[in-house]
Structures are given as C-alpha cells and as structure tokens.
Amino acid sequence: MTFGKIKLGITVLAAGILVAFVTLFLTSTHAFRSSELTIPKISLEATYVEYGTVDALDSDAELIVIGTPLKDFDDRQHIVTTFDDGNIQDFYTLTEIKINKVIKAPEAATLAVDDSLTIIEPISYIENVEGKKKITYEDYTELKQNQKSIIFLKKNTQGQYSIINMDLGKFSLDTLSQPLSTLAKNQDPKVEFRKSILERYDLK
C-alpha cells in the first residue's frame, strides 16, 4: 500500500467519524426538542393579586430587575409538595438568574450587576404513571435560558423573591426587534402591557 492510499484512507475514516458525530448530535438535539414539545401542560387557576396597570405593578413590586436565567428549565430545581392523600399542595421552580440591571430594590438590598439571584416561578414538572407533565398557574410560561427579561418580584412568606402578576410580571427584552403586531393575537392584553412596560422603563 502506497503512502497516498494510506493518507486517503485516514482522510475517509476521519470524514466518516465526523459525519457520525454530527448525525448523532443533530439526532439527540432533535429528540430533546421533540420531547420538550410533546410534554403535556396543565394550567390551574390561582388566587393572586392581579395588577392591571404598570403603575400598580411598579408600586407593589419590591424588586424590579433585568435578569437572565442561567440554566435551561429542565436543569432547574422543581419543587412539588403534596398533602397526606397525595394530592398536590403547591408547586414552583427555583430559577437562578444573573442580574443585568437593578431598576428598583429595597434600601437594604445589596444586589449588583452580575450578581446571581434565585427566584420563584409558578410552574414545575410532575411525574406519575401517565408520564411527565408541566404544571403551571394561569398558563404561566417559564423564563427562557439566556433570554434577558425585565422581572417584577416580591418576597413571599418564606422570604423568597417570587414573580408577581403571573405572565404579566415578566417580559422578554430579547424580542425588542420583533414588531408587536407579529405576536400572537390571543396575547393582545400582554402585548399592550409589554408596550407600556417598555415605555415606562425606557427599554424601547
């Protein structure tokens, strides 16, 4: 066997390994995304303080930040508590965010840019004999990893910062280049509220 044939064989082998690796990566990525999309979602009604105006939301929020979740939703800590009979008592997710900007904070707070903060989102995962499901209050959707958002928070009875006003208590800033008219029509109230938020805090 000549040196040229050996070199050609090594090149073909390397190319084959590369193709196999890329195929495996794309397959696994596709599988993950497919499974994520097929997880059923259960939305429950909740009793909570609803803020119909930005002024009311701003006034009652103890902490307002622009922050970015550090982990994918699947990798966060999902908490579900149950009663003695097995029925769900409460659920939430602990989401760690990096603070990009502090807009409003208590005087005693020591939060600064690039600090991390763990907050509570009203959403989680449950698993039973029927499989894995996403459970949420008032159709709340989780903050997305690496997506910068303005977030309105208030401490709960355990002293943990929780998102208030459900889905109208956090708004992504990574979609600012997207015209508001292109957002889902069934989210018109959120579109208008988001527009008011952007104007109030000069985030346009």
CATH number, domain 43-200, options 2.40.50.120, 2.60.120.380, 2.115.10.20, 3.90.700.10: 2.40.50.120
Distances (CA, A) of 12 to 9, 15, 23: 5, 5, 16
Report the pLDDT value the prediction gives residue 84, as an integer from 0 to 100: 93
Give the DSSP H or E segment for 49: none
d(CA 94, CA 99): 15
Q: What is the mean pLDDT of the chain?
A: 82
For the segment 26-55, what is each residue's pLDDT rounded down to a tens digit?
A: 344 433 343 456 789 999 999 999 999 999
| Domain edges within the chain | 1-38, 43-200
Which tokens hold the place of 79? 């908490």
Q: Say how far residue 31 (Cα) sits from the centre of its chain.
A: 20
- Residues 84-121 have pLDDT tens digits of 998 999 999 999 999 999 999 999 889 999 999 999 99
Distances (CA, A) of 163 to 17, 86, 129, 137: 47, 27, 31, 12
Q: Specify the pTM.
A: 0.78
Residue 55's H or E segment, with its range, is helix 54-60
